[in-house]
Amino acid sequence: MSKVTVVGAGNVGATCANVLVCNQIADEVVLLDIKEGVSEGKAMDIMQTANILGLNTRLRGVTNDYAATENSDVVVITSGIPRKPGMTREELIGVNAGIVKSVVESVLAHSPNAIIVCVSNPMDTMTYLIHKVTGLPKNRIIGMGGALDSARFKYFLSLALGANANEVEGIVIGGHGDTTMIPLKRFAAYRGIPVSTLISGAQLDKVAADTMVGGATLTKLLGTSAWYAPGAAAAQVVGAVLGDQKKLISCSALLDGEYGEKDLCIGVPCILGRNGIEKIVEFDLNAEEKALFAASAAAVHKTNAALA
């Protein structure tokens, strides 16, 4: 029996719970929120699709009752205030740090062996904060951002190629920020064919630029942060862990010398399985990519300093 808790029943958390249920990724899902009735209502709404869709996963919503999350295998943390138009992810640090710290302490009191998936922004810094306040082994704390950024990269690549998004490969590393993420254009491929041989350099540069501001673009259009892709990306990470899938997914991981960095959570290619982050894969970056990664890491270090 597998159990997942999603903390935060806002747009992202509820979407994550919905994907977990619809794809039957876990046997039981608990959706928790501090606002009375929200998680219960969304859970009820989702579960009323069970008969229509032939679903067997059980979902229940609770208000601030961490006892209900007991013995969770994975806990997804989406808590915190979302971005508004014009805001950077980094501007959320003050409020969200306190929320995330409190949530982590509460969930670990009831599920001390859980693997934590952090979605809250600024995601790399919140993932780092979880490491600092819990002291958990680094394999058990996963920042979701790279999974989302890579999905957006593949979406924009598919548009430029006129291709099926499922047949496009692309990965984004670096910080989960509009100026810090690094779409690895050199590694992008369509059915094994380098994308750089299929579209022009200018087109590929535009794909990368659109990827980097993908979240800000949606925030401007929607008036708040996106939720369908972020929620699905979080569920993808959970599925890779619970299913012991050994999938290579870009995630924010604590580095200890990898990519030349230490004491930093930042997006890198990771093999995800039942033990969480089972391996960090080091791509052979060229000089330009290494310089971009170093600049991204410096920016994340700077944001982390605001936690002090």
CATH number of the domain encompassing residue 94: 3.40.50.720
Res 234 pLDDT > 90: yes
Contacts of 98 (CB under 8 A, 6+ apart): none
At 83, the pLDDT band (50, 70, 90 cuts) reads low
HSE-CB at 65 with a 13 A cutoff on CA atoms is 12
- Provide the pLDDT for residue 285: 98
For residues 201 and 94, state if they share a domain: no
Helix H or strand E encompassing 38: helix 38-47
For residues 202 and 274, state if they share a domain: yes
For residues 25 and 135, state if they share a domain: yes
- Provide the pLDDT for residue 125: 94
HSE-CB at 95 with a 13 A cutoff on CA atoms is 10
Given 81, 114, 145, the domain boundary residue is: 145
Question: In the structure encoding, which two tokens stand for residue 287, read together?
Answer: 């000089």
For residues 281 and 162, state if they share a domain: yes
For residues 219 and 233, state if they share a domain: yes
At 280, the pLDDT band (50, 70, 90 cuts) reads very high
CA 257 to chain centre: 22
- Provide the pLDDT for residue 298: 98
User: Which residue in 110, 131, 176, 301 is the catalytic one?
Assistant: 176
Looking only at the bridges linking them, the beta strands covering 58-63 and 28-33 are parallel
Please report the beta strands in 124-192, taking only residues with DSSP state E, as ranges in sequence order: 141-143, 168-169, 172-174, 181-183, 189-190
Given 112, 145, 178, the domain boundary residue is: 145
Domain assignment of residue 151, given as a range? 146-305
Number of other residues whose CB lies within 10 A of the CB of residue 296: 24
Whichever domain contains 216, its CATH number is: 3.90.110.10
Give the N- to C-terminal CA distance of the chain in Å, as an integer.
40
Distances (CA, A) of 38 to 14, 104, 106: 10, 20, 19
Instruction: Quote the CA–CA distance of 241 and 247 in Å, as a whole number.
Output: 9
For residues 201 and 252, state if they share a domain: yes
For residues 102 and 154, state if they share a domain: no
Describe the chain by its helix, strand, coil percentages, rounded to 5: 50, 20, 30
Q: What value does the mean pLDDT take over residues 22-43?
A: 98
Residue carrying structure tokens 């369509």: 190
For residues 52 and 78, state if they share a domain: yes
Distances (CA, A) of 193 to 190, 240, 286: 5, 26, 19
Question: In the structure encoding, which two tokens stand for residue 185, read together?
Answer: 């254009």
Q: What value does the mean pLDDT take over residues 183-190?
A: 98
Given 96, 116, 145, the domain boundary residue is: 145
At 282, the pLDDT band (50, 70, 90 cuts) reads very high
Instruction: Quote the CA–CA distance of 29 and 42 in Å, as a whole number.
Output: 12
Nearest 5°: the CA angle 181, 107, 34 is: 85
Q: What value does the mean pLDDT take over residues 240-264?
A: 98
For residues 176 and 254, state if they share a domain: yes
For residues 206 and 254, state if they share a domain: yes
Q: What value does the mean pLDDT take over residues 91-102?
A: 83
For residues 137 and 226, state if they share a domain: no
Query: Total domain count for the chain?
Result: 2
Mean pLDDT of the chain: 95
Instruction: Say whether 176 is catalytic.
Output: yes
Do 1 and 33 contact (CB within 8 A), yes or no?
no
For residues 213 and 96, state if they share a domain: no
